[in-house]
Amino acid sequence: MGGSGTGARRAALRDGWSRGDVAGALTVWALLVPECVAYAQIAGVPPQNAFYAAPVVLLVYALLGRSRFLVVGATSAAAVLSAATVATVAGPGTGPEGAVGVSAALAVLTGAVLVGAGLARLGFVTNFLAEPALVGFLSGTALTIIVRQAAKVAGVPGGEGDFFERAWSLLRRAPDWSPAALAVGAGALVLLLALERLGPRLPASLAVLALGLVVSAGADLADHGVEVVGPVPAALPVPHLPAIPAEDWAALAGGAFGVALVVFAESFSIADRFARAHGDEVDADREMIAVGASNVAAGLVRGFAVSGSTSRSAAAEAAGSTSRLTSLVAAVLVLLTGAFLTPLFTDLPEPVLGAIVIVAVLGFLRPAELLRYRRLDRPSFWVAMTALVGVLLFDLLPGLFLAVVLSLVLFVASAGAVHVSVLGRLPGSPLYGDVEQHPGAATVPGVLVVRPDGALFFGNVDRARRAVRARVAAGGPAVHAVVLDLGASYRLGVQVLDTLDELREELAAGNVALHLARLRARAGSELDRHRLAGRLAPGTRHASVEDAVTALAPPPADGP
């Protein structure tokens, strides 16, 4: 009887799991179908190329990835980066058919970079892409996409150049804006925003796409000056190695690293966010390999670069998805759509596509986050604004490079700004704390206990040396010993030990002894191999700050 109850519970769990995943797959399909067409436009390739890649990418990630909720496919960020990179090789005037091979090759290279980095266990590198720089980069990317798609909504050519040149070109052509295209595009925008506000779980883009097709066919919009997508052939994925010259492969290599960085940063941040919310764990290296393999697969079926999607992942979770079965079922649905339903997109108005893309990237605009940086962290605000303006002025790839450089500068500046605290014994405790934070902490006359608030390395050790000397000078001639608490430094490189030796000599010149406390095991073994070990006076290495102070404290005065 107990076994029967257990079987019933398992069956109920299995049915709920399956229903939730199927519902999630239907939601993903409803979002992915219109986005395939829209993002192919952004990437500069025919719509069918997105349908070639979508089911293959979903399948590959489901087999190799470990996130239960991440949905990988075409995204606005990956598409626009692909288009920008391809334009540097194929030329900005290259048509959709001419961009297919280069876009596919870029996806293969991007995936190869990620797979290689994952095998080398370099998943941690995304931690060095500072969030303010990424916020600025994505905000600039969103504005760049919006101004390009706004030209479709207005029914005029998009122009060339950076964001400002395109925006000026759009405004200058205001007398040429098509009233019919503007009405269709603006109506689609209003309807999309209204549906997302009133029914956030509804597939608003699919509903607007379907309505656009009905209106276009019924009103014959193409005859009223509204540009339509045109014939879209059936799209079944067939393996196809990108046939481009060797020099084009080489020219794409640099851009592939930039695309790989953003693709993985976007994908892993989504996977990690859902993992934390559901008590899961995702391995950065494994995810890097899975996303990389997805990009290789996309390129080998004439697709373009892909990434994790925030909107599709969140929608699938909200619909009840609990496993990667969602991606497998969605892959089948998209495959059937590409095989049998692509002729339906023939009459799809371009202004409707432009509206779908604009609404899709609005989430990248984060003015509230920029204002928060401005209020709480001015350096981060200026990093974000520099990345944003860099994208608008110099285009996406130079803007991405600027964001990466700013992230590294921010990291180096933060790591190098070491603070050296003076410690005192906390009342009624053997522990020591910063005397500035604990005014009641007791110090020993003549003994200066200091602690760098962070690990010492080549970028900050000289600042720490100068800070210790300043503390000694402020203490006056009464200071005869300095206890340096190294508990935050789990290793000491040669440059750090050289600088500590220099500090020892400088202190010794003023008759001040250097004592080291709380040496970690690895740091201690590194010290033993360095000349400093032989130059330190006997008894100047201590297991704890308390031991050091006890050894240095003056003996109690004899009683009467």
Place of tokens 């605290």: 421
Beta strands in 248-334, from DSSP E residues, in sequence order = 307-308
Number of CB atoms found within 10 A of residue 272's CB: 18
Q: What is the largest CA-CA distance in the chain?
A: 113
Place of tokens 């997805």: 294
Specify the 3-state DSSP secondary structure of 230: coil
Task: Check: CB of residue 73 under 8 Å from CB of residue 294.
Answer: no
Residue 459: φ, ψ to 5°:
-80, -15
Strand partners, 517: 485, 542
Q: How far apart are CA 256 and CA 111, in angstroms?
A: 8
Q: How far apart are CA 422 and CA 453, in angstroms?
A: 10
Low-confidence ranges of the chain (pLDDT < 50): 1-6, 8-16, 557-560
SS3 of the chain: helix, strand, coil, percent, to 5: 65, 5, 25
Specify the 3-state DSSP secondary structure of 341: coil
C-alpha distances in Å from residue 56, one per residue of 220, 237, 334, 427: 35, 7, 10, 65
| DSSP code, position 238 | -
Q: Are strands 481-485 and 307-308 parallel, antiparallel or unpaired?
A: unpaired
What was the pLDDT predicted at 77? 82
Q: How far apart are CA 506 and CA 500, in angstroms?
A: 10
Q: How far apart are CA 168 and CA 148, in angstroms?
A: 12
Burial level of 40, CB count in 10 A (0-12/13-18/19+)?
buried
Task: Check: CB of residue 504 under 8 Å from CB of residue 535.
Answer: yes
End-to-end CA distance of the chain: 87
Number of CB atoms found within 10 A of residue 18's CB: 14
Rounded to an integer, what is the distance from CA 289 to the centroid of its chain? 16
Number of residues that make up the chain: 560
What was the pLDDT predicted at 428? 85
What was the pLDDT predicted at 201? 67
Q: How far apart are CA 69 and CA 325, in angstroms?
A: 10
Q: How far apart are CA 203 and CA 195, in angstroms?
A: 9
What was the pLDDT predicted at 358? 86
Task: Give me the amino acid identity at 229.
Answer: V
C-alpha distances in Å from residue 6, one per residue of 9, 13, 62, 382: 5, 11, 29, 59
Q: Which residues contact 268 (CB under 8 A, 6 or more apart)?
A: 123, 126, 282, 284, 287, 288, 291, 308
Q: How far apart are CA 210 and CA 216, in angstroms?
A: 10
DSSP string spanning 399-456?
A: HHHHHHHHHHHHHHHHHH---EEEEEEPTTSS-EEETTT-TT-B--TTEEEEEESS--
What was the pLDDT predicted at 11? 46
Q: How far apart are CA 503 and CA 541, in angstroms?
A: 15
What was the pLDDT predicted at 317? 83
Number of CB atoms found within 10 A of residue 443's CB: 16
Helices (H), 126-178: 131-154, 163-172
Q: How far apart are CA 432 and CA 77, in angstroms?
A: 50
What was the pLDDT predicted at 187? 94
